[in-house]
Structure 1
Amino acid sequence: MKLVPTALGDVVEIQPVRHGDARGWFSEVFTASAMAEAGIVRPFIQDNESFSAAVGTLRGIHYQLEPFAQDKIVRVVRGSVLDVAVDLRRGSPTFGEHVTVTLTGDAGNQLLVPAGFGHGFVTLQPDTHVAYKVTAPYAPERERSIRWDDPTLSIDWQLAGADPMVSERDAEAPLLTDQPDLFDLPRSETPA
């Protein structure tokens, strides 16, 4: 397993090894011991999946507050997405910044999105199937979102001017500056 840091150091691309032969390939997509050797020790408790039929289906930017904040490992089983993580930790030197990583079923790459970051993706191919692990259960009363087209975030969703397909909730999500419920860095992590 190869870990590739992103511009937001806590967000990491994971590239599992695929072992191929004439039949196809095999890959261990998650192994707790290999993750621990890489310094990623998280109590993943639930696996989720989503299916999006249309290209341009956009989900996000979502997150959950403590005590149900979620670390996620996101991967694409079939199709491809532009995956986005946004730093929502007030006091962080990268607060409000984002990274994008293209995840594909063909490549098998994954993205670790830690608690404290918002997460979203847009589908780049039809019939895209996304699977992700989380460290906390879904808690609707602690779920929050930031509007996908927030101008202060300036996320290039690679839509080439087309409007994405979004849920009503995502279309009506507040802007980052209007969202009071974010994360604070622990005092030990706050820059001097």
Structure 2
Amino acid sequence: MRIFPARLPDCLILQPQRYQDNRGFFQETFRAADYAKAGISEPLVQDNWSRSVKGVLRGMHFQRLAPQGKMVSVLRGEIYDVAVDIRPGSASFGQWQGLVLSEHNGHQLWLPPGFAHGFLVLSDVADVIYKTSAYYQADDEGSFCCFSAALNIDWPVTDVIRSAKDAGAPDFSTVFP
């Protein structure tokens, strides 16, 4: 596995080895020992799978009291994945990073607890899977607007499909004054 530091502190871009030939490819999608070598010590306790069509923008979501670390991968399609540092007192608080994750590049993105997450589907359909370090708790979920002027995230497309909940999310500066 190749490991690349992300622009945001404590986040990692991982590239598991892929063995490809005329039949297709083989790739390990999870190997705890490799993640431990990369410094990811949180136990991963829950798997989530999301299927979305082109133009769907999901996020920006986070857990307030029981933050989740997330290992994000794309099984089918391509997404523009975005993380925002929301850790109180962090030198990079309010900074964001976006990168393309796809079935073709096979990259994974590790977001430790304390980051908000969202993604935009660039392909006709995308299957996104992510492992989390804490169980989801609906009453602990928070969100803020993907198009927050305080963050100025450079989404590659602005004509998007959002849930009513995401479309009505407050600005980042309201959630984190």
- Give the TM-score taking structure 2 as reference length: 0.96
Distance 1:36 1:88 in 2: 24
Structure 1 residue 37, shift from structure 2 partner: 1.5
Distance 2:89 2:30 in 1: 32
Structure 1 unaligned segments of length 5 or more: list them: 183-192
**Structure with greater Cα Rg:** 1
User: CA deviation digits over 1:18-52, x for unaligned, max 9?
Assistant: 01223221111110011111211121011100111
Partner of 2:126: 128
Partner of 1:176: 172
Partner SS, residue 8 of structure 1: coil
User: CA deviation digits over 1:48-73, x for unaligned, max 9?
Assistant: 001112x210000000022x210000
Query: How do residues 46-61 of structure 1 correspond to structure 2 at under 5 angstroms?
Result: 46-53=46-53, 55-61=54-60
Distance 2:114 2:36 in 1: 20
Conservation of the 8 A alpha-carbon contact between 2:84 and 2:116: yes
Structure 2 unaligned segments of length 5 or more: list them: none
Conservation of the 8 A alpha-carbon contact between 1:32 and 1:41: no
Partner SS, residue 34 of structure 1: helix
Distance 1:90 1:151 in 2: 20
Distance 1:126 1:137 in 2: 30
Partner of 1:143: 141
What percent of counterpart residues are identical? 42
Distance 1:152 1:8 in 2: 17
Conservation of the 8 A alpha-carbon contact between 1:6 and 1:13: yes
Q: CA RMSD in A?
A: 1.3
Structure 1 residue 11, shift from structure 2 partner: 1.3
Conservation of the 8 A alpha-carbon contact between 2:9 and 2:92: no
Conservation of the 8 A alpha-carbon contact between 1:79 and 1:127: yes
Partner SS, residue 90 of structure 1: coil
Structure 2 residue identity aligned to 1:157: W
Partner SS, residue 34 of structure 2: helix
Partner of 2:110: 112
Partner SS, residue 49 of structure 2: strand
Conservation of the 8 A alpha-carbon contact between 1:5 and 1:12: yes
